[in-house]
Amino acid sequence: MIVRRSFFAMAFVGIAGCFSLVSAPKNKDGGTGLLAVGADAPEFSARDETGSSFALSSLRGKAAVVFFYPKDGTPGCTKEACAFRDNFREYERRGAVLIGVSADSEASHDTFRKEHKLPFPLASDANGSISSAYGVKRMLGMTERITFVVNKQGKIVKVFPNVDPGVHAQEVLAALPGE
């Protein structure tokens, strides 16, 4: 009986420890949690799947959709990325740029992008600095699925904290700022 109780106590501590790995990221202003509508989109530079570096500021003058997703190749992430791909021409027509962000490596992004013919960059956030700047949580090395729509001036105009990969690309299109 003592062994059984000890085992369950250790299991509970182990599970609680997993949840402590999810910490509320600190924002630039010292606050925690997701950035709100009206906030400046944090500048970031990252390497894409080809190893090329790019910066968010280089996209000023265009609307940007920065979508965080958990992991390359998983069913939900594949569904979401392919829906963005299938609507890519409409995003281009509306003057918006898509950027996918996850903790996966550049090599993983390269494979994922090629396999699904994704026409937009995937930024590697292996150290978590981009997700932290946006207040996006990470758990067990995977990023939470959240999307930010950024206007031409670099302000966040819409945040999607609860993403349904099947309809998300259309929701984001509807939320893009007008000219």
Residues of the chain with pLDDT under 50: 1-31
CA 79 to chain centroid: 14
- Phi, psi for residue 99 in degrees, rounded to 5: -140, 120
Token duo for residue 165: 């990969």
Q: Which residue has the tokens 């250790």?
A: 10
In the chain, the number of structural domains is: 1
Query: Which is nearest to 44 in space by CA: 106, 124, 144, 130?
Result: 130
What's the CATH code of the domain at 50?
3.40.30.10
Catalytic: 82?
no
Q: Is the pTM of this model over 0.85?
A: no
Instruction: Give the range of the structural domain holding residue 8, as residue numbers without chain letter.
Output: 2-175
Query: Which is nearest to 92 in space by CA: 175, 150, 173, 174?
Result: 173
pLDDT tens digit string along 65-109?
A: 999 999 999 999 999 999 999 999 999 999 999 999 999 998 999
Residue among 34, 59, 64, 77 flagged as catalytic: 77
